[in-house]
Amino acid sequence: MGHDHGNVIPAYMKVFFTLCAMTLLTVAAAKLVHFPDVGFVHGYVINITVGLAIAVFKVICVMYIFMHLKFDNPFLRFFVYVPVFLFMVLSFGLNLEFGKAPSNQHVTRTVYQQLHPGEHKAGH
């Protein structure tokens, strides 16, 4: 293609080591840390949020540096922004239903713990 982005190797190496460190951080956040409940937000929700936030940060690093979104024509960013928006809407928008629990086979963790007080099989 020939358009030159200058010497990008230091940026590549920085992204590589950031990704490695963030991967270890994800594992640590999921396996070692149990966040306490904050108000009505359960601790495990914070665990998940932290894990996904780190994943999003890693993805941004890869897209902007490895996939050259930072250097290329900004027009290409629309191919990212639009599907990412739809991805968020479709995956998380479907997820707002909580609490209706017809049976043990169909419960959220919160409801499971209400139905089985004292049982801590589900984490912590």
Instruction: Give the position of tokens 């920085």.
Output: 14
Residue 8 or 39 with smaller CB distance to other proteins: 8
Q: Is 47 in the site for other proteins (CB under 8 A)?
A: yes
Q: Give the ranges where 32-77 is alpha helix by DSSP (H).
A: 43-61
CB of 123 to other proteins, least distance (A): 6
Q: List the structure tokens of 46.
A: 């914070």
Q: Is 105 in the site for other proteins (CB under 8 A)?
A: yes
CA distances from 66 to 11, 23, 49, 89 (A): 9, 17, 25, 26
| Angle, helix 9-31 to helix 43-61, in steps of 10 degrees | 170
Q: Which of 39, 40, 91, 117 binds other proteins (CB under 8 A)?
A: 91
Which residues neighbour 62 within 8 Å (Cβ) at sequence distance 6 or greater? 15, 19
Q: Which of 25, 63, 70, 71 binds other proteins (CB under 8 A)?
A: 63
Q: 41 by DSSP, 3-state: which?
A: strand
Binding site for other proteins (CB under 8 A): 1-2, 4, 8-9, 12-13, 15-16, 19-20, 23, 26-27, 30-31, 33-34, 44, 47-48, 51-52, 54-55, 58-59, 62-63, 66-68, 72-73, 75-76, 79-80, 82-84, 86-87, 90-92, 94-95, 97-98, 104-109, 112, 121-124
